[in-house]
Structure 1
């Protein structure tokens, strides 16, 4: 093993790569700090997408219940 490879692998032995954190860092590269702080974080955007997915799943459930609910209201 070359000494360059050994140094590279030993430097990363204790730390794990956080892809979301890296994307946040890349997204703000070259942007002055006051403006970079105002940009939405990738983590927050992904959380918003996850919430949208949950709403879609809820919509699918309510769509399945809609025929039953309309029958119940017709009986009243």
Structure 2
């Protein structure tokens, strides 16, 4: 297959799909707009998970520093 044919085939696939946007749309399917606006968006929930990962990294750092700084009793 030549690159020209590959480009044509890729162009026929249609626009790129945003999976997170699609999940948001599916999550609110059949829910009245008044209530759908109150539901948490998948994007926001995934962002929250990223912050949870950052919190875990911070916890790893404080675990290493706690014995040096006598913070063991303060943390517990």
Which residue of 2 is the match for residue 60 of structure 1? Answer: 60
Which of 3, 10, 19 is matched with 2:12 structurally?
10
Tell me by how many angstroms 1:33 deviates.
Answer: 0.7
Alpha-carbon displacement from aligned partner over 1:50-76 (angstroms, at most 9, x marks no partner): 111101110111101111112xxxxxx
Which residue of 1 is the match for residue 44 of structure 2? Answer: 44
Structure 1 spans left out of the alignment, 5+ residues: 1-8, 71-76
Distance across 2 between alignment mates of 1:65 and 1:11: 53
The list of structure 1 runs, each at least 4 consecutive aligned residues, that deviate by more than 2 angstroms after superposition, is none
Q: Rg larger in 1 or in 2?
A: 1
**Partner SS, residue 61 of structure 1:** helix
> Where do 1:14-25 residues align within 5 Å?
15-25=15-25
Tell me by how many angstroms 1:49 deviates.
Answer: 1.1
Structure 2 spans left out of the alignment, 5+ residues: 1-10, 71-76
Q: What CA RMSD, in Å, does the superposition of the two structures yield over aligned residues? A: 1.3
Distance across 1 between alignment mates of 2:42 and 2:24: 6
